[in-house]
Amino acid sequence: MTLEQLRIFIAVAEKQHVTQAASELNLTQSATSAAIAALEARYGIKLFDRIGRGIVLTQTGRDFLVEARAVLARAKAAAQVLDDLAGLKRGSLTIAASQTVANYWLPGRMQAFHTAHPGIDLRITIANTEQVARAVHEGSADLGFVEGEVDDPLLAISKIGGDSLVVVVGMKHPWVGRAKITPKDLSMTAWVLREQGSGTRSMFEAALRKFGIKFPNLRVALELPSNEAVRAAIEAGDCATAISDLVVAQSLAAKTLHRVSIDLPRRSFYGLRHKERYASQAERALLATIKP
């Protein structure tokens, strides 16, 4: 069994599609299929069931996937130790970040790190808070940056910054021109919100609980998977949303959105890393760069 076979198996398992996995790995479909077939033949097991034109993991495959990911994570850790010997002259970091952090808070800090350490390759994926925490837990990301609270005893969590949650409406909304609204008013309008699992959504639901408002009592017209989609929907319609002040700063300045006066809490951004995995010099340098 080779690390390359493990890498191919994990890609096929995650895509549940040989051709898509081969494309992601820059391999031919035949080479990808051969690697899976070699594993199955060598150990006399079935890793995938071929159902119609698709494939799904067998129970054996699901059990093996956990171990395969762990082995690759350890191999990556070993490579990072060697990269450290080069004194941050080369290496790589895989980062997962939630949308608000990735799009509005992190870019300038990443650029500062790149200027200081141009030989470190930064690979960034964007997901919601739950998905970022899972990526760090499973080892597919070295570091995670989120705006929602995370409860995972295997993750080291540190505050790295923050923003404020604000309620905004489009310029045709009846709340435009009102000096202030009360918590009771929140249930009197339709809402466009981020999806469940996002830090923005979790923070708003926590604020509603403090106001004594049950979330099901809100009229949710749309749930959307990105801040930009939410912002565009609010600008075009007569709904309200709760969103990061970083996301709507330019829209407020351009007067395409109106900020409603109501007290919502400030929230913290958090950095995540796995407690039991080796912290490379590149990881420590990046955290030192972005911490306040």
Q: Which pLDDT tens digit goes with each residue over 128-186?
A: 889 999 999 999 999 999 987 889 999 999 999 889 999 999 999 999 988 789 999 99
Look-up: residue for tokens 């080069």? 86
Same domain, residue pair 203 and 121? no
What is the domain range of residue 18? 3-82
Query: Are 106 and 77 within one domain?
Result: no
A 10 A CB-CB count for 172 gives: 11
Contact 5, 39 (CB under 8 A): yes
237 and 188 belong to one structural domain:
yes
Write the pLDDT tens digit of every residue in 36-56. Answer: 899 889 889 899 888 877 789
185 lies in the same domain as 40: no
> Where residue 85 falls among pLDDT bands split at 50, 70, 90?
low
Residue 109 and residue 176 in one domain: no
* Residue 222 in this model has a pLDDT that exceeds 90: yes
**What's this model's pTM, rounded to 2 decimal places?**
0.66
Those residues with Cβ within 8 angstroms of residue 125's Cβ, 6 or more apart along the chain or in another chain: 94, 95, 96, 97, 135, 141
pLDDT attached to residue 96: 96
63 and 114 inside one domain:
no
